[in-house]
Amino acid sequence: MRGILSFGAYVPRLRLRREAIVRSHSWYDASLSAHRGGERAMCNFDEDAITMAVEAARDCLSGLDTAPVDDLLLASTSLPYASRLNSSIVAQALNLAENVGAIDIASSQRGATSALIQALRGGAARGALVVASDRRKAKAASAQELLYGDAAGAVLVGDGPVIAEPLALESRTIDMADHYRGAGAVTDTYWEERWIREEGHTAQIPQAIAAALRQAEIPPGQVDALCVALPQKSAAQRIAKLAGIAPDRVRDTLAATVGNAGCAHPLLMLAHALGAAAPGQVLVLVAFGQGVDVLVLRTTPALAALPRRAGAEGWMARGKAEDNYMKFLVFNDMLALERGMRADNDKLTPLSVEYRNRKAVHGFVGGRCGACGTAQWPRADVCVNPACGAVGAQEDLPFADTPARVMSYTADRLAYSPSPPACYGMVQFEGGGRLMMDFTDVDEDELAVGLALRMSFRIKAYDAARGYTRYFWKATAAHPMENKHADGNS
């Protein structure tokens, strides 16, 4: 049976309170106060669509002994590169085999669901990892600045013990430009909201849902969860009523806690729904944008046996409230900041060097000596153990998922950081291996010798002169569940 084998999600740690945005713009537009409730997920300065995609994919693949990934499909409307395969960076960070197929799906609000539908319809024995991630920018004092949120979702599709089987897959393509972003533009342009609601949402979505349910031979009354990935208030309830689905079956759109994550939002909502679902339930997933995608899925008994993962709920629980709206503007390059002399250096990345070291840099692969068992990063021809010194005995050893702890740390206020102080220190990995690393998503007062850590794929530096983003791994505080794992407890 072909269907969904696993799911994952990622939501950044920082959550900007909408009240802080409204308070900053109250002098200009008092109507923004209608959106002042709740908070929106906000990327740190070292996060983007690629780093979030990696984290969501890692969450999706966690706990699986064998993950049959033959194809990687990355959907986003905010990828950093226009003429480089962004999904190749994600594939390398996940240490997928070089014979994996990879494709970027851009310029579509329905990119994630369209990719998922194609994966579910795909050929036999092809495992597909569908990942969606968006970090969209919005004009200051716009409603979108309040309604947007940064996040990612991932779904693994293939044959085997599926946790959800497709009952119907419905796609409709209608060229209605409710909003758009032209080539070279930074933010989207929106048309009138009532027109979008009446000619778009109300006129197109209920009919597509009805067609999908007919195809699945499921009456509306048997739908257990309806996921409508729209940012407008009450839109999901209105669509449910028109489709004949009970209002209490409408899933939380996560508007108050995350915001709308654009292309990634359908997969984020699906991960949230699957994390709370029981076997045998019918889920309907809806995405809108130049048409409608509708997926009707039924969960299976295998869902209960899926290894535990953070999922949407777990990442949302790790949030930290942020009230500094200026920090949000700076992190999103919407406000020019005086960075000082220490930031004034050429960040040229020799592409040949990065290529030769891609497994070590993007994949975070070190080595273990086959003679004495010593672990080290980076991998080298000679073992670093002075009592060994074996030559040519190194075997690949991935470090990304290895528990680690703080061995020493520094909070540096002289070195440049977009979010001072710059925190870094020596990290000791379980089973051997240590290196000096940057810390991220950890406050200065949280740092302590022995603090349990997990690795996170992040932006290391950005070459503004050439538009090149350099990625590497950073250390961040482990979740309490991960702390137990690091201690060797269950």
Distance CA 97, CA 70 (A): 8
Sign of the alpha-carbon dihedral angle for 473, 97, 78, 135 = negative
Q: What is the mean pLDDT of residues 350-369?
A: 96
Distance CA 208, CA 13 (A): 35
pLDDT of residue 211: 98
Structure tokens at 90: 């994600």
- CA-closest candidate to residue 328, choices 109, 74, 8, 25: 25
378 phi-psi bin (left φ>0, alpha ψ -120 to 50, beta other): beta
Read off the pLDDT of residues 106-142 as tens digits, 9 standing for 90 and up.
999 999 999 999 999 985 558 999 999 999 999 999 9
Residue owning tokens 């690393």: 437
pLDDT of residue 212: 98
Give me the residues paired with residue 42 across strands: 14
The whole-chain average pLDDT of the chain stands at 94
pLDDT of residue 123: 59
What is the band of 487 on the pLDDT scale with cuts at 50, 70, 90? very low
Structure tokens at 206: 């209920």
Task: Tally Cβ neighbours within 10 Å of residue 466.
Answer: 10
Read off the pLDDT of residues 390-429 as tens digits, 9 standing for 90 and up.
999 999 999 999 999 999 999 999 998 999 999 999 999 9
Three-class SS of the chain: CEEEEEEEEECCCEEEEHHHHHHHHCCCCHHHHHHCCCEEEECCCCCCHHHHHHHHHHHHHCCCCCCCCCEEEEECCCCCCCCCCHHHHHHHHCCCCCCCEEEEECCCCCHHHHHHHHHHCCCCCCCEEEEEEECCCCCCCCHHHHHECCEEEEEEEEECCCCEEEEEEEEEECCCCCEECCCCCCCCEECCHHHHHHHHHHHHHHHHHHHHHHHHCCCHHHCCEEEECCCCCCHHHHHHHHHCCCHHHECCCCCCCCCECHHHHHHHHHHHHHHHCCCCCEEEEEEECCEEEEEEEEECHHHHHCCCCCHHHHHHHCCEEECCHHHHHHHCCCCCCCCCHHHCCCCCCCHHHHHHCHHHHCCCEEEEECCCCCEECCCCCECCCCCCCCECCEEEEECCCCCEEECCCEEECCCCCCCCCEEEEEEEECCCCEEEEEECCCCHHHCCCCCEEEEEEEEEEEECCCCEEEEEEEEEECCHHHHHHHHCCC
Read off the pLDDT of residues 176-231 as tens digits, 9 standing for 90 and up.
999 999 998 999 999 999 999 999 999 999 999 999 999 999 999 999 999 999 98
Q: What is the mean pLDDT of residues 340-349?
A: 77
pTM of whole model > 0.85?
A: yes
pLDDT of residue 481: 55
Portion of the chain with pLDDT greater than 70, in percent: 97
Read off the pLDDT of residues 46-73 as tens digits, 9 standing for 90 and up.
999 999 999 999 999 999 987 789 999 9
Q: What is the CA radius of gyration of the chain?
A: 23
Distance CA 221, CA 218 (A): 8
Read off the pLDDT of residues 247-304 as tens digits, 9 standing for 90 and up.
999 999 999 999 999 999 999 999 999 999 999 999 999 999 999 999 999 999 999 9
What is the band of 484 on the pLDDT scale with cuts at 50, 70, 90? very low
Which domains are present in the chain? 2-331 (3.40.47.10), 341-364+399-487 (no CATH)
485, pLDDT greater than 60: no
Read off the pLDDT of residues 295-332 as tens digits, 9 standing for 90 and up.
999 999 999 999 999 999 999 999 999 999 999 999 99
Contact of 55 with 11, CB cutoff 8 Å: no
Distance CA 183, CA 262 (A): 18
pLDDT of residue 446: 95
489, pLDDT greater than 80: no
What is the band of 102 on the pLDDT scale with cuts at 50, 70, 90? very high
pLDDT of residue 488: 37
482, pLDDT greater than 70: no
